[in-house]
Structure 1
């Protein structure tokens, strides 16, 4: 009898939980769809603002360091901007022209590499026949030939798009630079104005979590990407990898995609090189994986720590959702956004527990004094 009563008492609670879950998923799905439509409508504006905000986040870190050594904010911003401009000029004179030249030549040679891969497939078929294996790669060969035509069309479209979009790209770059400077100068006031409408218990946790997850995360990712590109460039040169500089920079830039970017970049580079030389592709894969393991096991724990604090499954879901909503930009910022939300909630809970503990301690002290 008592078991039946307890079961009846639990039934409304279980039904309420099921109702919340049942209604929650459609609401979340609807919100994701609304966000994706909103982003598509304002895609260009959101992209420019997001890139400018990320640059301001990154540059604000050295500005804060200079402020700690008794620089005023305006001179600190000027010094950081001048140093950044000098570094970009050095890269623009040394690395960028070579990388662009290699990338242009690579794009032209990819169809030839794909054609050459047919010979490798024939060699595998002959090897299989010698071992008594019936290997048929006709389907794969037809797919490769289809890829050739597609690649040639893409190259033509890219050339036309580059000629048409040069002026627009220059305007966007100038807009991003100006917005980044203004965000450095007045971003704090703007942020305080935005969070002023939030309750007091959310303001500080949200600000701290946003700084931790965006500023620290992207600084760490840039440093890790720079390490990958810097180490792989001489490694690929030693292995005599064609277009090694472009491949190394591509793998380093892939590090901006959280947690899986470097692996995807290494995989794509390996496949491309295997089209030309299978053995060289294996060597590139081994070298890149070794460098990646050094980065993941020695550098990443020291730079990144545990400030994201997300479950790996949650990270993959965030990446998929971000890509669905906002494409590549959504993939890049999805994990920091999720980390910001989680960090804000955790800090709010911690503040609530501390406040409750202090209240309880104060109540116990009053009771002791009364006794």
Structure 2
């Protein structure tokens, strides 16, 4: 039953807030109960959104039918994925394993340096106990790396490496490419009255396309620029570091987090090396994000960076990684729809 139109706006917002919270809680509970199925659907939808861009480009530029364009794009995508899996992925795995072997040596070297500092401080009469800090740092990093190494095979064999999971992911991606637009349109038009469903569809499609396109370009450019930059800075494992930071750049603020993470790890080998890498990569990252068109994500979605960060945190809480990659365009869509619904009310007043 719709609410009376004469209710004050603060009262409507106050009544809506507990309903929104309840719906989010129900969604999070359902997602955790059916996480495997939901993650496959979300991943297939994201891949379909990415592939839909070249499909539409082939339709417009070459005049191909949608079926032919989908077949061509999917074939090229599978060939590219196979090429990456056969060349780049083994290289990254080998470099990652080598990195986990040298990291304990860096921790030991840092521990020796801290022990030397403690000895000098004790000689000067300043008591500094760093043994517990060193042991805690070593134990924490070792546990994190062991957990990561154990989770990688489980992730590959469980969610993506399983033949049936890959098959259903492929089928769902094709389904979304062919019928996804009509399916979402029918759902929105049946849920929302009047022309609101078509408006929501247009806003949702625009925000998701802008987000996917921006983050893909940003991630690719970060990998292409940061990898040779790290090599010029004589950083250890430049390919592993550059590709990892670039992949993290697909997530809002992920590139900054990746730069900070690898800089801290390189500080274990050499403090000045890590500091130099951090300073240079931060400058390069900011130049890329402010000069590269399309520019900052906030300009594409109309969201404040604080709102973007909050949306990412909420998405991570509700649906882990898949919530992170879908939270920003959903938040931008909600904002656009709320602004559109507020304009008629303000104009009539």
TM interval, short-chain normalised: 0.7 to 0.9
1:96 paired residue number? 89
Q: Distance in 1 between matches of 2:124 and 2:247?
A: 42
Report the TM-score when normalising by structure 2.
Answer: 0.85
Q: CA deviation at 1:309?
A: 1.1
Q: Counterparts in 2 of 1:171-186, with a 5 A limit? A: 171-186=164-179
Q: Which residue of 1 aligns with 2:115?
A: 122
The question of 1:220 aligning with 2:210 is answered no
The equivalent residue for 1:63 is 55
Q: Which residue of 1 aligns with 2:143?
A: 150
1:76-130 residue CA offsets vs partner (Å, 9 max, x unmatched)? 1122223323333443343222112112222343334333331232244356568
Give the structure 1 partner of residue 203 of structure 2: 209
Q: Distance in 1 between matches of 2:68 and 2:156?
A: 39
Q: Which of 294, 309, 314 is the equivalent residue of 1:321?
A: 314
Q: Identify which range, 74-83 or 147-156, moves more after superposition.
A: 147-156
CA RMSD of aligned residues (A): 3.1
State how far apart, in whole Å, the 1-side matches of 2:117 and 2:27 are.
48
C-alpha distance in 2 between matches for 1:45 and 1:153: 28
Determine if contact 1:205/1:347 at 8 Å carries over to the other structure.
no
Question: Match of 2:3?
Answer: none
Matching of residue 245 in structure 1 with residue 239 in structure 2: yes
Quote the residue 1:307 is aligned against. 300
**Residue number among 30, 33, 51 corresponding to 1:38 in the alignment:** 30
- Residue 332 of structure 1: aligned partner: 325
Contact persistence 1:251–1:266 (CA under 8 A): yes
Between the aligned partners of 1:94 and 1:241, the Cα distance in structure 2 is 22
Instruction: Summarize deviations over 1:308-351 as a string: whole Å, max 9, x none.
Output: 1122332222122112111222122111111111123334555x
**Residues 241 and 280, structure 1, Cα contact 8 Å, conserved in 2:** yes
Structure 1 stretch displaced more, 71-80 or 155-164: 155-164
What is the alpha-carbon distance in structure 2 between the residues aligned to residue 19 and residue 216 of structure 1?
Answer: 34
- Unaligned runs of 5+ residues in structure 2 are 1-6
Per-residue deviation, residues 198-222 of structure 1 (Å, max 9, x unmatched): 3222122211111111122011101
Q: Which moved more, 1:158-167 or 1:283-292?
A: 158-167
Of 60-69 and 341-350, more deviation after overlay is shown by 341-350
Q: Which stretch of structure 1 is more off in the superposition, 262-271 or 291-300?
A: 291-300
Q: How many residues align?
A: 340
Contact 2:100 2:145 in 1 (8 A): no
**Quick one: higher RCO (CA 8 Å, sep 6+), 1 or 2?**
1
Alpha-carbon spacing, 1:58–1:202, altered in 2? closer, same or farther (3 Å): same
| Partner secondary structure for residue 300 of structure 2 | coil
**Alpha-carbon distance, 1:25 to partner:** 4.6
TM-score under structure 1 normalisation? 0.80
Q: Are residues 124 and 322 of structure 1, via their aligned partners in 2, closer, same or farther at CA, if it must alter by over 3 Å?
A: farther
User: What residue is the counterpart of 1:76 in the other structure?
Assistant: 69
Question: What's 1:257 paired with?
Answer: 251
The one of 274, 279, 290 equivalent to 1:297 is 290
Structure 1's 111 and 44: CA in aligned 2 closer, same or farther, altered over 3 A?
A: farther
